[in-house]
Amino acid sequence: DVASGKARPLTGCVRALCTAPAWHPDGTRIAYQRQEFSATPGDAARATRAWVVDVSTAQSALLFADAQLLGADPAWSPDGRRVAVYDARAGGIRVHNLLDGSSVLLSSEPGETGLFAPDGERLVYPVLVRGALGQEFYAHLMLADLSAQTEASLSGEPDAPLDDGFAAWSPDGTRLVVARRYLDERYTPGKQLYTLDVATGEATLLLVDAAYTHAAPQWDATGRFVLYQRFALAEADAQPEVWVLDTHTGEARLLAQNAFLPAWLP
């Protein structure tokens, strides 16, 4: 409880590692990933399954009725109709429709589930591509329209010279803020913050400071402020910092030192 600071256990993961909690939109359940300690060495990622715990009773059960289905990093759609997990065995993101029981598998290598749009009908997720740097891989972002069953790149062609990651949806679902590093003459050692128009893929510079790399951006509910973390690249004893950017004025201010992965309370 954020206001009181009181805490109570929800899971009893004695011989398992339970991580990646994700609230259901109605606030009654939390999905999480469970990795059993008895898993075969070297096969831990494929042994990860998705579970869900009832917040009021602290009772846990597998997220899917089929115990053979694997899944990590669970995420609910904002409307609660879908849930997505990363299936390492299948090599992609499994998006399950809870209303009709249907599923779709989106091929993706980085091991991340991706992010649902506010409407719950679209999912942005990373893929690995290469071409701009010979045989070196880098990440691009894909957009899946789950209702239309279509997929499109938000980063351009596979040989587009850029490395994208850490995307976050704007509250109205029209833009993404991404941490991007260009690999051409616009190159910087670390990633900078850009906004992407979801309809056109057009990128607009939001924040650049070549001395830092930026990550984990998060819009506030009004669509005006962006939380993010930054890390100095040339300082031997550097610590991560959390900043907030006013996208209307361009003013950025420090919120916390030696801190990372910021998030807004709903």
Query: What is the rounded average pLDDT of the residues 40-57?
Result: 78
What are the pLDDT digits (tens) for 220-240?
A: 999 999 999 999 999 999 999
Residue found under tokens 């993404």: 176
The alpha carbon of residue 246 and the mean position of all alpha carbons in its chain are separated, in whole angstroms, by: 22
What are the pLDDT digits (tens) for 66-108?
A: 888 889 999 999 999 999 999 988 999 999 999 998 999 999 9
The strand pairing partners of 48, in sequence order, are 35
DSSP assignments along 112-180, one per residue: ---EE-TTSSEEEEEEEE-STTTT--EEEEEEEETTTTEEEESS-STT-SEEEEEEEE-TTSSEEEEEE
DSSP assignments along 6-61, one per residue: --------SSEEEEEEEE-TTSSEEEEEEEETTSPTT-TGGGEEEEEEETTT--EE
What are the pLDDT digits (tens) for 179-204?
A: 999 999 999 999 999 999 999 999 99
The alpha carbon of residue 223 and the mean position of all alpha carbons in its chain are separated, in whole angstroms, by: 18
Cβ atoms within 10 Å of 112's Cβ, excluding its own: 18
Single-letter amino acid code for the residue at 237 = D
Q: Which of 112, 74, 75, 73 has its CA nearest to residue 92?
A: 112
